[in-house]
Structure 1
Amino acid sequence: MAFLPDLSVMLTFAVAALVLAITPGPDMALFISRTINWGRSHGFATVLGALTGIAVHTMLVAFGISVLIVAAPAAFWALKIVGALYLIWLAIQAIRDSGSMLVPKAGGKQPSFAQSYMTGLGINLTNPKVALFFVTFLPQFVSADDPAAASKLVFLGFEFVLISLPIVIGIVLFAEWLTKTLQTNKWVAKALNWSFAAVFLAFAATILLAEGRK
């Protein structure tokens, strides 16, 4: 089936998606906040909204990148280099991050499940880092001369959703424990951040070396 990437690509992407899914960010902080303040159901509604946002990003990137591949192969090559540099930037940010997570205390009227869903969708769609990540990261797993690039990008995007799902469910179920751990044990957060940085740098090096050999 043309839309299926090679097994090695799917497995490599699964590892990358797993690392990215457990990397702390605004979405994760929102899941924790909603769960602590309004309960698991609102946490899950927020998760569903964020995953919907990922699906939207995937579709936009897949068809946008496919046009770019056909129209400007050199621009597609440049985009992959930018992706490697972005991963290096993520590594630097992970090292510099203090590892603390701020979880605001809710007040006022309890939101509806639809409002929690829309909040999750909104924070995902309006987060420029999410958009930039998908634009620069997904293209690393397709070839510029592959006629099925768009369908493979869509497949990988939904693979990312499936890989992320058990992670975000776990975040909601153990939100209170995770929050206390990250706030009171700074060495745990620092160890995680250094691990994330090492993985980002490894992927960046792989991309740059691969492009340098062409």
Structure 2
Amino acid sequence: MPAFLPDLSVILTFALAALVLAVTPGPDMALFISRTMNWGRVHGFATVLGALTGIAIHTSLVAFGISVLIVTAPAAFWVLKIVGALYLVWLAIGAIRSGGGLLVSRAAGKQPSFAQSYMTGLGINLTNPKIALFFVTFLPQFVSAADPAAAGKLLFLGAEFVLVSLPVVIAIVLFAEWLTTTLRERPWVSKLLNWSFAAVFMAFAATILLAEGRK
């Protein structure tokens, strides 16, 4: 068995944990839905690809020990969380302003490029404390620090997380596309969804900022 391959029990346990995180509502899930409803499945999948790239980056940081700096330097992690909260506020504003790019109606604003949708997905996961905390604090629990193959196993688990998440995010994008087709002719529903997305992003931003304020 290759040295980078964890035990089967570890693989199965981690798969369950990854599935729970994947189906937990969060700003990334709201973003996948809003992008798809606005610009179609191509941009929904572009956003997903960006988010999964963010996961790959988090995994690499953990595997090669760079994320230890965040854990040992609380100020650095605090900055990450504040940046994440501000990014969510920016997305919330974009959801309700004219031509903000998150509106359900395609005619509301200029269509973003594939690269822009990708970078939006990348940004929301790189600044998402839920993802950062999962990989910095939880992922290392599945390997031993004394294991010479620890880095390889961490990378394997990161790839496993992506594979487990894929069916979930693909289903989310396809559902959002179906929902758009069903509701596009009802303007009041579109407006309600825009404000709902804004509320989701603002709620997560407030949670982050208030949690920091209590410390």
Normalised to the residue count of structure 2, the TM-score between the two structures is 0.63
| Conserved? CA contact 1:65–1:139, under 8 Å | no
CA deviation after TM superposition for structure 1 residue 144, in Å: 2.5
| Conserved? CA contact 2:52–2:162, under 8 Å | yes
Alignment partners' CA distance in 1, 2:37 and 2:67: 41
Q: Which moved more, 1:50-59 or 1:124-133?
A: 124-133
Q: In the alignment, which residue of structure 2 is the partner of 1:147?
A: 148
Alignment partners' CA distance in 2, 1:47 and 1:10: 23
List aligned pairs for 1:138-177, cutoff 5 A. Answer: 138-175=139-176
Amino acid at match of 1:165: L
Could you say what secondary structure the match of 1:174 adopts? helix
Q: In the alignment, which residue of structure 1 is the partner of 2:117?
A: 116
Alignment partners' CA distance in 1, 2:111 and 2:43: 10
CA deviation after TM superposition for structure 1 residue 65, in Å: 7.0
Alignment partners' CA distance in 2, 1:147 and 1:54: 23
CA deviation after TM superposition for structure 1 residue 45, in Å: 0.5
Query: Structure 1 regions of 5+ residues with no counterpart?
Result: 69-74, 77-102, 184-214
- C-alpha change, 1:152 and 1:178, in structure 2 (3 Å) is farther
Alignment partners' CA distance in 2, 1:20 and 1:67: 22
Amino acid at match of 2:171: G
List aligned pairs for 1:1-214, cutoff 5 A. Answer: 1-64=2-65, 104=95, 105-106=102-103, 107-175=108-176
CA deviation after TM superposition for structure 1 residue 176, in Å: 5.8
Deviations 1:158-209 (A, max 9, x none): 11001111110000001267899xx8xxxxxxxxxxxxxxxxxxxxxxxxxx
| Conserved? CA contact 1:66–1:150, under 8 Å | no
Alignment partners' CA distance in 2, 1:146 and 1:18: 26
Percent of residue pairs identical: 83
Q: Which moved more, 1:138-147 or 1:158-167?
A: 138-147
Q: Which moved more, 1:16-25 or 1:171-180?
A: 171-180
- C-alpha change, 1:113 and 1:34, in structure 2 (3 Å) is same
Alignment partners' CA distance in 2, 1:53 and 1:169: 17
| Conserved? CA contact 2:43–2:114, under 8 Å | yes
Query: Structure 2 regions of 5+ residues with no counterpart?
Result: 73-93, 96-101, 184-192, 194-215
- C-alpha change, 1:132 and 1:161, in structure 2 (3 Å) is same
Alignment partners' CA distance in 1, 2:110 and 2:67: 45
Normalised to the residue count of structure 1, the TM-score between the two structures is 0.63
Could you say what secondary structure the match of 2:64 adopts? helix
CA deviation after TM superposition for structure 1 residue 114, in Å: 1.0
CA deviation after TM superposition for structure 1 residue 145, in Å: 1.9
